[in-house]
Structure 1
Amino acid sequence: MRARAGTAALLLAAGLLTACGGGGGEAGGPVEITWWHGQVENQAKVIEELAAEYNKAHPDVRIVPAVGTTNVDEMLQKVQAVLAGGKAPDIAYMYGTWSPVLAKTPKVYDLTATVKAPGFGWDDFWPSERAVAEVNGKVVGIPAVVDNLAVIYNKKLFDAVGLSYPDKDWTWDDFRAAARRLTRDGVYGTAYPVTGTEDTVWRFWPQLWQQGGDILSADGRKSAFNTPQAVQALDLWSAMARQDKSVYLDQNGEKFLPLFQSGKIGMVIAGPWALLDIIDHKIDYGVQILPGHNGDHQTIAGPDNWVVLDNGARRAQAAAAFLTWLTRPEQDARWTLGLGNLPIRKATTALPAYREFTEDFPEIDVFTANLDNATKARPQLPAYPELSEKVGNAIAQALVGGTPAQQVLTKAAAEADKVLERSR
Structure 2
Amino acid sequence: MANRLRGAVALAAAALLAVTAAACGGGDADGGKVKITWWHGQAAPYDEPIKKLAAAYSAAHPDVEIVPQLGTSNVDNMLQKVTAALAGGDAPDIAYMYGSWTATLAGNRKVVDLTDTVKDPAFGWDDFWESERAAATVDGKVVGIPAVIDNLGVVYNKKLFDAAHVTYPKPDWTWQDFRDAARKLTDPGKKIYGTTYPVSGAEDTVWRLWPMLWQQGGDILTPDGKKAAFNTPQAAAALDLWRGMARDDKSVYLDQNGEKFLPLFQSGKVAMVVTGPFALLDFREHKIDYGVVPLPGYNGNHETISGPDFWVLFDNGSRRAKAATEFAAWLAEPEQDAAWSLAVGNLPLRKATTRLPEYEKYVDDFPGAAEFVANLDNAKKARPSSAAYAKFSEAVGNAITRSLIAGTPASETLGEAAKRTDELLAKEK
Query: Given that residues 10 and 391 in structure 2 are in contact (C-alpha distance below 8 angstroms), is that contact kept between their aligned partners in structure 1?
Result: no
Q: Is the 8 A contact 1:17 1:83 kept in 2?
A: no
The counterpart of 1:78, out of the listed 77, 81, 84, is 81
Aligned to 2:382: 377
- In the alignment, what sits opposite 2:370? 365
State how 1:44-193 maps to structure 2 within 5 Å.
44-184=47-187, 185-193=190-198
Q: Distance in 1 between matches of 2:374 and 2:330?
A: 25
Aligned-residue offset at 1:308: 0.5
Please give the per-residue CA displacement for 1:55-95, whole angstroms capped at 9, x wherever unaligned: 11111111111122222221111111111111111111111
Aligned to 1:238: 243
Counterpart of 1:314 in structure 2 is 319
Aligned residue number for residue 274 of structure 2 = 269
Q: Which whole-Å deviations, capped at 9, do the CAs of 1:170-227 have from their partners, x for residues lacking one?
A: 0000000000110013110000001111111000000000000001111111101110
Q: Does 1:252 align with 2:257?
A: yes
2:30 and 2:17 mapped to 1: Cα distance? 26
Partner of residue 222, structure 1: 227
Asked if 1 retains the 8 angstrom alpha-carbon contact of 2:280 and 2:368, the reply is no
2:224 is the alignment partner of 1:201: no
**Rounded Cα–Cα distance in structure 1 between residues aligned with 2:296 and 2:428:** 35
Following TM superposition, by how much is the alpha carbon of 1:240 offset from its aligned partner in structure 2, in angstroms?
0.4
Query: 1:8 Cα shift?
Result: 3.8
Residue 229 of structure 1, CA deviation: 0.3
Alpha-carbon distance in structure 1 between the residues aligned to 2:155 and 2:148: 20
1:4 partner letter: R
SS at match of 2:68: strand
Following TM superposition, by how much is the alpha carbon of 1:322 offset from its aligned partner in structure 2, in angstroms?
0.4
Amino acid at match of 2:14: A
DSSP 3-state at the match of 2:66: strand
- The aligned counterpart of 1:413 is 418
Gaps of 5+ in 2: none
1-structure distance, mates of 2:68, 2:369: 29
Task: Report SS of the residue matched to 1:293.
Answer: coil
Paired AA for residue 275 in structure 1: L
What's the counterpart of residue 402 of structure 1?
A: 407
Asked whether 1:16 is paired with 2:5, we answer no
Other structure's SS at 2:45 match: helix
Q: Following the alignment from structure 1 to structure 2, what is the Cα–Cα distance between the partners of residues 14 and 317? A: 27
Q: Describe the shift of the 1:291–1:211 C-alpha distance in structure 2 as closer, same or farther (beyond 3 A).
A: same
Query: What residue number does 1:355 align with?
Result: 360
Task: Give the Cα–Cα distance (whole angstroms) in 2 for the partners of residues 355 and 57 of structure 1.
Answer: 28
Gaps of 5+ in 1: none
Q: What displacement does 1:22 show?
A: 4.0
What residue is the counterpart of 1:331 in the other structure? 336
After alignment, is 143-152 or 55-64 more displaced? Answer: 55-64
What letter matches 1:202 in structure 2?
Answer: W
Name whichever of 36-45 and 231-240 sits farther off: 36-45
Q: Distance in 1 between matches of 2:176 and 2:386?
A: 33
Query: When the two structures are aligned, how many residues end up with a matched partner?
Result: 424
Contact 1:32 1:63 in 2 (8 A): yes
For the Cα contact (< 8 Å) 1:25–1:313, is it kept in 2?
Answer: yes
State the SS of the aligned residue for 2:347: coil
